[in-house]
Amino acid sequence: MIRQKRVMRTLALLLMIAAIAFPANAFAATGDVSSIAFDDATKKELVIGQAAKQLKVYATVEGSTSKKDITATAAWTSSNPNVALVTKGLVSAAGSGSAIITATYEGAVATVEVSASYPYTKLALKPVKSGTYKLGDPASDLKIAAKLTGGEDKDKVTDVTSLATWTSSNPAVLTVEAGQLKLVGKGTSVVTAKYAGQTGTFTATVDLPYSSLEIRDLGKAASDLELLVGDELKLSAVAPAAGGSTEKDLTADAAWTTSNEAVVSVDKGVLTVKTAGKATVTAQYLGVTGSLDVYVRSPYEALVLVPSEPTPLFLGETLDVKAEVRDRANSSLDVSADSKWSSSNLLTATVDNGKVSAKSIGTSTIKADYVGISKEIKLTVYPTLKSLEAPKADTELYRGETEALPKISGVKLDGSKLDLSGDVKWTSGDNAIASIENGKIVAKSSGTATLSAALPAAPSVVTPAGDVSVRKETVQFKVTVNEKVLLLMGPDEAFNLIVGETSPMPTVNAVWEDGQEKDASALVKWTVSGTNAVIKTTDKGQEIKALVKGSVSLKGTYLNKSITVPVKIEPKITKIVVDPTSIQLNIKSSKSIKATAFYADGSKVSLGSKVGWVSSNPLVASIATTSVKGLAEGKATLTGSYQGMPLSVEVTVVPKLTKLTVAEKTLKLAPKATAKISVTALYDTGATAEVSGQTTWTSSKPNVATVSAAGQITTLAEGKTMIRGKFGGKLVTVSVTVKN
């Protein structure tokens, strides 16, 4: 078979050389075929007994950009009909081997190689060991070979173990790679291999070599252990006897682990107790596990350092730190000499049996360890300071407010400053007024309190003799607490000023948060916007002087609140004209009053509500800005003023006339006769009145009859006339006939 393949390759090569040496298009003319080629010239794989493959060949024609399909008209041959047969490009497998398929057309030749083989029929898996595996089995027993049937010969078997794709249905039980099993845990898994479209499977069962693992202490099964810091204990791991087998010591082979290495370490069963806490010790071997909890306690309840608070030191100073252990509330033991002392920064501070020496500027943590318990304090080493100072002498707060404590600085020998705010301790001279809470000043009630700041007392600190020290210095400042203003109340309307005149500031009342109210006019600090007015300060306080016509704003501030008052500045008025000066109203009716002011230059302005009208009898007539309303029958006087000029309007309120009637609407009289007309007025209040004498009378024919102002008719001559009367806007008529 191999020899046959070599002959086919040689023949194909000779044909390709011939095609290159003698190209069909060497002397081609337009319309002639210059070359032919397969659409896909790659080697074709055929399977005996399966479908044939159709080849396609195309010709390149001189003068044409498109290719011509010549598959059906080309001449086809196979170099080995025992392997491949070809008809019009359709190639079918006849036997196993290789062949060259040649297409010829008008002298042009194209070739393609084909091979034929038998189909693969089976992929079989052959394990070295079948049945049940056990964790710990040697790798040589965990191999599986993959055998593939088919190919060159129908019944040929080929080892494709390294070529197949391997998978495990349960990686928690086992994994597989290139036929090599790796056992992981107890259970069953299906091993699958795939190659060349064939699949083989193998079911493997994995069991444990031991049923359990037991951790023992002094030959007995151990449960939870209670130990003290410093103890050491040797444990063993044993697989108990089961099913007739003997127990086996697995101590040296097991994997020992601890859940907390800082508490307990373990090496081949040997426990080393380091510090107080809890840890779980586990031994594991070939799928079986044993574990127990270890509780480690210190022989003492606590380690206490004195001093225990962060302590500032200055260069050259020393600090004696004492370490004490306690096992009861009132029982302590000095273990300074037996503790293990350390400094996190030896450049800054060293420690020897609890004596700390400040060496250079910086920070360090001093730590003491004793039988599993430890304690530490932080310290800062500062340069030498010559004094302490605060940036301000006092502060003001409102009740309920808080403020950060002021920054406290230490002055170095070169005059530069060092922030010591985090190192000083604060006290208040009166916590009822101002207290210190969480690093802030809390204003409690009105008053003044003195706050003091100093470095904490440190009796265990030794300062070298002759050195400058600020340890006993105190910085003080005062805190004044005021009640907080809820609201400032000023004028309801704009503040009016006259050009050239000076006026006191507006009246302002302060309302405190506790509800109290007082006149704060003298305490308000005023500013003015613009240049139309100026504020002057006199012995009586602040005053405002109007300079030129226009508008400005006054802003007044008192403690935590401000108020803005609009100010209008105008020239002096020479006269004010009120229209009307007297008003008659019905009940519930209203009428407007117009007040016009005239300036010296002849200009005028409507004052509107600026007059501030007030009624002398609000039950009869009320006034709202410029509108007066009648409320009840009677009289009232409205008074007001502007720029000091008094103004007044007389108001009379009368009921409203609803109906006017006469006693007789028709009269028949003789000439030279007289008759009196009676007229009755009905008002909206229900009252009536005889108003003949107040009615205005007229006669349509005075030559027939006349009528007097009192309603007296006098006839003169025969005829007819209409007597008309008018009162309160209403009319009445009387028909008079004069006849002998």
Q: Annotate 459-501 with three-state secondary structure.
A: CCEECCCCCCCCCCCCEEEEEEEECCEEEEECCCCCEEEECCC
Could you give the 3-state DSSP secondary structure of residue 680? Answer: strand
Q: Report d(CA 391, CA 443) in Å as an integer.
A: 20
Give, as one character, the DSSP assignment of residue 430.
-
Q: What is the pLDDT at residue 378? A: 94
Question: Identity (one letter) of the amino acid at 132?
Answer: T
Q: Which two tokens stand for residue 652?
A: 């009379």
Q: Alpha carbon 302 to chain centroid distance?
A: 43
Q: Is 722's pLDDT higher than 90?
A: yes
Q: Report d(CA 448, CA 393) in Å as an integer.
A: 13
pLDDT confidence band for 14 (50 / 70 / 90): low
Number of alpha carbons in the 13 Å side-chain half-sphere of residue 371? 20
pLDDT confidence band for 328 (50 / 70 / 90): low
pLDDT confidence band for 22 (50 / 70 / 90): very low
Q: What is the pLDDT at residue 10? A: 55
**Residues 80 and 97 sit within 8 Å (Cβ to Cβ):** yes
User: Do you know the residue count of the chain?
Assistant: 740
pLDDT in tens, 694-720: 999 999 999 999 999 999 999 999 999
Domains and CATH numbers, the chain: 33-117 (2.60.40.1080), 122-207 (2.60.40), 214-297 (2.60.40.1080), 302-382 (2.60.40.1380), 385-482 (2.60.40.1080), 485-570 (2.60.40.1080), 573-654 (2.60.40.1080), 657-738 (2.60.40.1080)
pLDDT higher at 543 or 3: 543
Q: What is the pLDDT at residue 7? A: 46
Q: Which two tokens stand for residue 210?
A: 């031991």
Q: Is 1's pLDDT higher than 80?
A: no
pLDDT in tens, 332-355: 788 899 899 999 999 999 999 999
pLDDT higher at 728 or 25: 728
Give the number of other CB atoms < 10 A from CB of residue 712: 15
Low-confidence winner among 238-242, 316-320, 357-361 (lowest mean pLDDT): 238-242
pLDDT in tens, 482-503: 888 889 898 888 888 888 888 8
Q: Distance between the two ends of the chain, CA-based, in angstroms?
A: 171
Q: Which two tokens stand for residue 384?
A: 């030498």
pLDDT in tens, 50-100: 889 999 999 998 888 888 999 999 999 999 999 899 999 899 988 888 999
Q: Alpha carbon 289 to chain centroid distance?
A: 49
Q: Report d(CA 639, CA 649) in Å as an integer.
A: 7
Nearest to 160 by CA among 201, 202, 196: 196
Which is it for strands 340-343 and 331-334: parallel, antiparallel or unpaired? unpaired
Q: What is the pLDDT at residue 28? A: 47
Whether a cis peptide bond, with omega within 30° of 0, leads into 307 is yes
Sign of CA dihedral 37, 42, 45, 50: negative
41: left (phi over 0), alpha (psi -120 to 50) or beta: alpha
Q: Report d(CA 79, CA 261) in Å as an integer.
A: 78
Could you give the 3-state DSSP secondary structure of residue 285? Answer: strand
Count Cβ atoms within 10 A of the Cβ of residue 631 and give its class: 0-12 exposed, 13-18 middle, 19 or more buried.
middle
**Residues 549 and 568 sit within 8 Å (Cβ to Cβ):** no
| CA distance readout (Å), 657 to 110, 177, 638, 689, 697 | 131, 120, 25, 10, 18
Q: Report d(CA 699, CA 713) in Å as an integer.
A: 9
Tell me what the mean pLDDT of segment 126-130 comes to: 87
Give the number of other CB atoms < 10 A from CB of residue 411: 15
Q: Which two tokens stand for residue 249?
A: 């010591």
**Residues 645 and 655 sit within 8 Å (Cβ to Cβ):** no
Could you give the 3-state DSSP secondary structure of residue 4? Answer: helix
Sequence-ordered list of residues with C-beta below 8 angstroms from that of 530, at least 6 positions apart, any chain: 550, 551, 552, 553
Q: Report d(CA 532, CA 517) in Å as an integer.
A: 33
Q: Report d(CA 281, CA 242) in Å as an integer.
A: 24
Q: Is 3's pLDDT higher than 50?
A: no
Q: Which two tokens stand for residue 617?
A: 């009898």
Q: Report d(CA 281, CA 217) in Å as an integer.
A: 13
Q: Report d(CA 631, CA 652) in Å as an integer.
A: 11
**Residues 699 and 707 sit within 8 Å (Cβ to Cβ):** yes
pLDDT in tens, 185-201: 889 999 999 998 889 99
Q: Is 539's pLDDT higher than 90?
A: no
**Residues 627 and 592 sit within 8 Å (Cβ to Cβ):** yes
Give the number of other CB atoms < 10 A from CB of residue 567: 23
With vertex at residue 512, the alpha carbon angle to CA 507 and CA 514, rounded to the nearest 5 degrees, is: 150
Q: Where are the alpha helices (DSSP H) in 160-283?
A: none
Q: What is the pLDDT at residue 265? A: 93
**Residues 100 and 113 sit within 8 Å (Cβ to Cβ):** yes
Give, as one character, the DSSP assignment of residue 128.
S
Q: Which secondary-structure segment (H or E) carries 380?
A: strand 373-382
Q: What is the dihedral of CA 384, 386, 392, 394, to 10 degrees?
A: 110
Q: What is the pLDDT at residue 572? A: 87
